[in-house]
Structure formats: C-alpha cells, structure tokens
Chains A and B, each alone.
Chain A
Amino acid sequence: MSTVEQPATRGDGFVGRAMKRKEDPRMITGRGNYIDDLALPGTLWAALVRSPEAHAKIVSIDKSAAEERSDVVGVFTHEDLKGDFAAPMPMVWDPPGMEVNTPEHWPLAGGEVKHVGDPVAIVIGTDRYGVVDAAEGVIVEYEPLPAVVDPEAALEDGSPLVWEQFGTNKTHEWSIAGGDVEAAFADADVVVKQRLVNHRTAGAPIETRGCIADPRGDRVTLYSATQIPHIARFVISLVTGIPEDKLRVVAPDVGGAFGSKINVFAEEVLAVVLARRLGRPVKWIESRSENMAVVHHGRDQIDYVEFAAKRDGTVTGCRVRVVADLGAYYLQLTPWIPQLGFPVATGCYRMPNIDLKFEGVFTNKFPTDAIRGAGRPEATHWIELMINKVAEELGMDPLELRRKNFIPKEEFPFTTPLEITYDSGDYHGTLDKLLQNLDLDAFRREQAELRERGVYRGVGFSTYVEVCGLAPSRAVGPQGVGIQGAGWESAMVRVSPSGTATVYTGTSPHGQGHDTGFAQIAADRLGLDPENVEVIHGDTDQGPWGWDTYGSRTLAVGGEAVARAAQKVQAKAKRICAAMLEAAPEDIELVDNKFQVRGSPDKAWTMAEIAGAAHIPPQELPADIEPGLEETSFYDPENFVFPFGAHACVVEVDADTGKVDIVRYLSVDDCGPAINPMLIDGQVHGGVAHAIGQALYEQVIYDESGQLVTGTFVDYALPTAAELPSFETDRTETPSPVNTLGVKGVGEAGTIAASPAVTAAVMDALKPLGVTWLDMPLTPMRVWQAIQEAQGGGDGPRRTEQARDLDEHAGGSAGSGPTGPEEGGAS
C-alpha cells in the first residue's frame, strides 16, 4: 500500500481545536432552514394513498370522492403516471458474475401491493390538511394475498412468494472466504456455535423526509431533506428522463438522517413529475407514521456463527451464514448492505481463516438499506459476543483472549485473509487506556459485594475495528464489488478579491458540522480565520459534482479533498506573492497567517493582499500565472480507513423486572488526529446512544399478517435523556497513512461498537442466575423471561426465543419474524 507524507501538525493552527460550530447561531435561534420551512408561492400539497394490506391485488381504485373536492387538483395512480417515467427506480448493485433477483420498482404500485404503506395513488391539492382528507376518500379495493413475514419461513418450500416470477423468495447469495476454514475447524480444540438475531430497527431522525419540486421554465428544482443531492439528481434524471442539466437538487438544513435519507424515494420522483405536469410547486412532508412505515429500516438479519480456537486461546477461524431480510422491493443498495460488514468480519484479530455466506430474502415488509453502521454493527455484534463465548469455553479471561489475538501495532498495514488491508491500528493501546479509565479490578470487587445483596451489575466490552471512508472507487465500483457508482469526492476553494474564502464540497451534511471542520482545514492552508471561510454544500448548481454524505466519508474523503484544493490555492498564492515581492515561490512560507519571504518577516503579505493582486493586479502578473484564486480537487482514496477502539458498558439489571439500567459507558476511540475534538465526542455520543437504543429498546415489529405494529414514536421506543448515562469518552490518535490529514471517519463508530458491549454487560450481570445468551432488544420482558427460563421457573407468559443453540435451529424457522408488540417498548 502506498503511503503519503504526513505534514507535521502545526501547533498554532485551527485544526485540532474544539471550535464552536459555525452552524449553530441560526439553529439555536430558530432561524434554520429545514425543508418544511420553505414556502414557495402557489405551492400545491401532496398526500399519498397507501396500502393497508401487506400483500394484495389492487382490484379497483375509486378516485371520484377525492376529485370532487374543490381543494383537490388531481388524483394520480401508476396508470396515470407511467408515461412520465423513463425507467423504474434503480438498484445499483450489479456484482460481476452473479445474479441478483431484481423486481421492477415503480414510484406507485400498480397491480399488486407488496407491503403495508405501499403507495397506490397520490393526491394533489391546495391545502395541507385538505389533501390528507382527500386521500382518505380514495377508495381502493384489495384482494388480499398470503403474506410472508419471517425470512426463514420465506426460504422454505411452499412459502407464499413475494415475487412469483423468481419462483423463490431468495434474492441472491454472496460468498467470500480466505485461508483454509475446513482445516481450521478440523484442527480446532474448541468450536463454539450460536444463532444470533440482529433485529430490524429504524433510523428515526427527528425531522421526517420531505420535498418541494419547483418547475421554472424548462428546469425543475427539487428541494429535499436528503443526504444525497448529487446522486438524487442523477437517479431522478434516470427515472424521469429529464436531462441532468434541467434538474437542480438542493438539500437545505437536514434534520438528521442516520442513513434514512440516503435513498432517492418514490415521493421525490412523484413531486418532480407532478410539478412539471401541473406547472406549480408540489410539496410533500412526511408524517411520522409514514416515516416509520416507508423509510428503509436497518439490520434485520439472522446470523449462524461458528468460531474455532486452539486450547491456548488462538482463534483460528470462523464460519458465518447470514440470512438477511430485505423486504419487498429494493432501494438503491438494499441487497448489498448486509455484506457491508465483510471487510471487518475478522475483527481486530488475526483470524487467519474465514468463510462468509450472505443470503437475501424477500418478505412483505418495507425494504432494508443503510442505517448508521450498515452491516458493520451486525458483524461487530457477532464477532465480539463470539469472542466472549470462546473465552467462556476455554475458561479464559475474554480480555486476555482479545490481547492474544489482536493484530499488533507493528504489523500494520495488515492484510487480512479476505485481502483487505487495515491501514493502521493500535488495538492494545485503546484497550489499555479503556481499562485505566474503567478500573476493572475495583468494578469486580464492587460487583461481588453487590451480588451478595442481590444487586446484579455487569460489565461488557467491545474492541472493534470498522471500515469507512467510502470509498476507493476501484474497490466499490463496477470493477470492484459491483456498485454502479464511485466513491471519490470533490472540493473547490475560491478566494474572493477581499480575501475571504468559500469552500464548495461535494459532501452534504445533516448534523455532522462540515461547515466548521472544513473551515478549520481550509483556514490553516489559506492563512485565514475560519470565521472568514464559508462552506457551501448540498446544491447541485453550486460547486463541482460530488458523492454526498454516508459511510463516515465526510472527513476522510471530503475533508481530504478540501485540504488538497486549499493546498493548491496556497501554492498559487505563494506564486503570486513571490511575483509581487520579487522573490522565488519556494522562498515564500505561510507563518501566522502571513505569506512571507523566508527569513524576512517584514516582507509579508496577507491572503487579502494576495487575493487582491490575483483579481486586480497592482502590477502585471507573470505570463504563467492566470488571474483569479480558485482551485478544485477530485480525490479518490487508495484505500478505506479503519477506525478502531475499545468500549465498556456497566449495567445494573433488576432481576425482578428485567429492567436494565446503564450505570457507566466508557469509550476510547481512535479516528486519527482530531480536526475538532468536540465534534468527534459529539459523534461518539450519538453513535453509542443509537446502538444502546437498538440493544435495549428499539425494534421495528411486523405482526404475522405483515401489519406494522411500531408505526409511531409511542410504539417505537427511542431512548430519552432519562435512559442514557453521561458518556466517558477518550481517544488515542493513530494516523492513517491513506490521506494527508491522517484522519478516519467517526460518525458510525459508536454505533458499530456499542451493541455487543451492552449485551455482554447484561449477560455478565446475569451470569450468577444462569443466563448464557440474550438476543437484542434486551427489553424487560425478554430479560425477565431469560431469567425465568435459566432459573427453571417455567416459560413465563410467553415462550422465550432466547438461548436456542445453532444445531437445533439450522433449517428451522424462527427469529426475527413476528414478535408480540409487548416486546418492542421501553420500560
């Protein structure tokens, strides 16, 4: 792997400082600009008519009552609009040499509905409340068909089929292996096996989706609460046939996303098509109950995992079969997402032999796709819990087992048996620091004393490595894993005549703090204060093309592009300065925000003076220097980056009720040198909270007939401030050799790390009660049932699904399918 030169960190620079955010003044005063804050004259409102059936034939649609209303402009079905579409909604994973069963997916369902919430008509009218009333007046007659909800039942012969034409509910099968797994298992002293259920969750940003399409002349501008304005323009152009140059997509302030605004959704396409047809702006704002039903969910896989180890604690191999519930249709990357954990499926460990098999399954549910972590939280969950299980089997301390199998820091860059090259790491270092902060010995003493009094506390650990910085195009693109896209990023840096700068980035934020972090990076290279660096994003009419924001790529790819573009501007500024001061460009240095002749600080220009000369030269510029001060960089990384860390969770479990309280949560993360440590801590806090939500409270539940049970925030339990602790975060800094900043992403790290730490902590707490396994979410009901079962106290009110081992269930059906609604709520 090639490495790049790491510039020495400038102690006096803005990079590395915990600067307050440039974004905040408008947001704390109520002057943000979110999608529903936009009002355009003459706007029409849209509401969708959605299927109450999980699987049904559409027999008839009676629009007459809605159309008769004076406030309704029109009611449109798939039949009415199909001529407006050039292509169905695309799925963009086309793996070389492999077939993925891919159904057509149109913005409105025609003929059959495949999940609850499937849109069958769209009502356009003049009043926000009126269109909702009108949509309720559209009478759709359905002929129900058998629905399939459990992914393992869906794979059985004779199951109802979501898509008849494939003759199966299996979507695809994708495998990858390295080393000699058969030999590893044949030579193993111990083999541990487990079936893990990683249940379906929701992204649940507090702002729902929404959009306004505004037709003007031959162009349409789509304002949308999206993570992906550039990709959206490309995809909407494809689906509508409107040339890209006639489309503009703008992401205003976006109220959180967590992956859930990573797709181009049917409603955005419908708004564009109908705005153009009707010649007026069309606005759609999603309700929360729509958001729970018709935004992709995350996770939802069943993992059959086997680990092999030697008596001395060397972990020699693993075999994993993943059954992933993909729902009824594909969004842009639905079938690819479960595999996204594969590059780090060997964890922080040498693990010389590995065999992974992923199967996708259609069910009558909304599609899954990327939600914060996307494939990597699932992998970390099984790796870390199985490492504990190996330690248990060997009678070893699970931390000692980890240390024995960690890749030592001297061995980086380290190539895994799956031919993935981990860029840099110090796994012992983060674990050591974590244990210092935790004081494990003191905790074990306290734990023993409390157990005497019937108080059950436990500690759980997660030592994780994740893969992010999407992405090296050659690795993820058509010639790599087969995504019909790329992963480079762009930045343009423009210095105005008065010496202020504007940074245009191809990434598109929704809470990360791009405006601040990118300004810090650019400011240091331009000799400016970040206050005088404005960061512009999220508008396809401004700045170069970009690949938007997801996969913890902002800093490692987008930030590096900013650094490179700013560096180019600095180089040109030095040439101009040299010409003006009659010195050689290589003799100009940037010190204390002044461009000065080396050794002659009295001969110095500020960026404002240089920018003035670049635009209005006081004397002639040399012939080889073009006027202006503006540079662009397109940066395609050579490798992913691999952040890592060690987390610990301390819980107390009420054995009488099953309620879990988090007592402490500690993390030591390493994402390279900090650009703004305050932003890193914020990302870790939110990421960990997201995973605690999955581990303890959150679950998307469909019942046996495919009805969504968790359709609101009443039923889907996001953690509140009262459930969460203050987090004890810490960091180490191991630079990545992949980019000049040395940075790695951190937006998903907390979510990828935390769920096994929480789960292991609860299992540790309940060890004296004989509980040996728990699948998430660890709701009071689940935990109580596990205690009852372990204590031989009968089944409780319902038979628990916990603690069933792999052999008993291979080929059986169970798991992430229907569960009672009482299991989904928080206490």
Chain B
Amino acid sequence: MSVNVRVQIAVNGVKQELEVEPRLLLVHLLRDRLGLTGTHVGCDTTNCGACTVHLNGEAVKSCTVLAAQADGAQVTTIEGLAADGGLHPLQEAFWEHHGLQCGYCTPGMIMAAADLLERNPNPSEQEVRHGLEGNLCRCTGYHNIVKAVMAAAGSARAGAAAPAPAGAGEEVAR
C-alpha cells in the first residue's frame, strides 16, 4: 500500500482537508468521501462526461483527475453551481425545455454547458453541439439539451445575469 497524501481542496466554496490514497480519483473523493453524489461516473475512458466538474473554473472530467492533483484547487460541482439554493439559468432551462430524461448525464452536461457559455456567451447551435461533444446522452438525442443551452444563453443575454458559481472563477488557469 502506498503512503497516503494530504489534499487541501475547496469544494463549492467549503475548504476540505483529507488524507487520500495517491490513486484516488477526484470523482471518488467528491462522491465517496464528501458525499457529493451529483457528479456521476458513466465510463472508464473519459468519454462520457457524466463526471464533469469545474476545477479552478474550468470544466474537467473528474474521473481523469487524481484527487492529489486537485490539491490547492477550487472545485465546483453541480450541487454548488447555483447560489443561495436557487437554480442556475442552465438548470432552469434544462427543466423548462425537457433537457433530461433519466437525469444521469445531466449534472455533467450542465457543468460542461456552463463552461461553454462562460467561454462563448453567444454560441450558435453548431457551437453548442461541438462544445458538448465530450458529454454523452443516450436519452434525449441532444435535441432538447441543445435547445436548453441556447435558451440559457439567450436568457443571460436578456439580462438575467447568471450568478457566479460559488467558489469558482477566481483562479482561472487555461
């Protein structure tokens, strides 16, 4: 057994300090150690994107990040996306436009879409489709997901400013 490592991490704005196995994946730290089960696992090859979270403000697939690599980072999960217990415009739009069926890909899809809109607040349909190609959905055929993301972008343009994700955005490293 390898020696555990100490990880300091801020998740949804809350500082955490944990001893972890060096091989522990960030997704399992979030799910199994912190109880944040909104971040899902759908594959073992970084294809499906169900585990997408924001690491220092940037969307990453948390099944392909070691918890140890996230030492010192700020992480935002689906549970922390909206401020004050409300809904983020993307969450509202997914609900309004039936952007989910089984709901399993949804948290990762919303986190990826939030990153996409952060970088491109006014995307075309094709830009949304290409921007989300790292996230798989088997239920919706993506039709209503794309519609929801376009609608959320539109509502942001219309002045319903998206609340800043808690604990993210300060140390954006690209």
- B105 proximal to A (CB < 8 A): yes
Q: CA A714 – CA B47 in complex, angstroms?
A: 7
Give every chain A residue within 8 A of B98 (Cβ-Cβ): 20-21, 678-679, 681-682
Separation in Å of the B164 CB from the closest CB of chain A? 17
Partner of B36, one of A30, A206, A289: A30
Contact indicator B143/A30 (Cβ below 8 Å): no
Nearest A-chain residue to B86, judged by Cβ: A29
Nearest A-chain residue to B148, judged by Cβ: A28
Give every chain B residue within 8 A of A674 (Cβ-Cβ): none
With A20-B96, A712-B44, A720-B133: A726-B103 Cβ-Cβ less than 8 Å: no
Contact indicator A686/B141 (Cβ below 8 Å): yes
Contact indicator A253/B136 (Cβ below 8 Å): no
Contact indicator A21/B133 (Cβ below 8 Å): no
Nearest B-chain residue to A258, judged by Cβ: B138
Contact indicator B145/A256 (Cβ below 8 Å): no
- B91 proximal to A (CB < 8 A): yes
Partner of A713, one of B28, B45, B141: B45
Separation in Å of the A404 CB from the closest CB of chain B? 33
Interface residues on B, range: 35 or more
Q: CA A206 – CA B45 in complex, angstroms?
A: 13
Give every chain A residue within 8 A of B100 (Cβ-Cβ): 24, 27-28
Contact indicator B125/A718 (Cβ below 8 Å): no
The A contact surface, by secondary structure, is: loop
With A206-B104, A287-B44, A686-B101: A256-B95 Cβ-Cβ less than 8 Å: no
Separation in Å of the B9 CB from the closest CB of chain A? 18
Contact indicator B105/A206 (Cβ below 8 Å): yes
Contact indicator A31/B48 (Cβ below 8 Å): no
Contact indicator B23/A129 (Cβ below 8 Å): yes
Partner of B139, one of A511, A712, A714, A724: A511
Give every chain B residue within 8 A of A13 (Cβ-Cβ): none
Contact indicator B140/A27 (Cβ below 8 Å): no
Nearest B-chain residue to A729, judged by Cβ: B143
Separation in Å of the B45 CB from the closest CB of chain A? 5
- A810 proximal to B (CB < 8 A): no
Contact indicator A256/B139 (Cβ below 8 Å): yes
Which residues in chain A, 702-742, are within 8 Å of chain B measured between CB atoms?
A: 712-714, 718, 720-722, 724, 726-727
Q: CA A511 – CA B37 in complex, angstroms?
A: 18
Which residues in chain A, 89-138, are within 8 Å of chain B measured between CB atoms?
A: 128-129
Nearest A-chain residue to B82, judged by Cβ: A29
- B83 proximal to A (CB < 8 A): no
Partner of A30, one of B48, B79, B94: B79
Separation in Å of the B80 CB from the closest CB of chain A? 9
Partner of A206, one of B50, B94, B125: B50
Contact indicator B102/A254 (Cβ below 8 Å): yes
- A56 proximal to B (CB < 8 A): no
**14 sample A-B contacts, Cβ–Cβ < 8 Å, listed by A number:** A28-B95, A29-B79, A30-B36, A206-B138, A256-B101, A288-B43, A686-B101, A686-B141, A689-B140, A712-B43, A721-B145, A724-B143, A726-B143, A727-B143
Additional A-B contact list (4), CB under 8 Å, known A26-B103, A205-B102, A256-B101: A206-B50, A207-B42, A689-B141, A720-B132
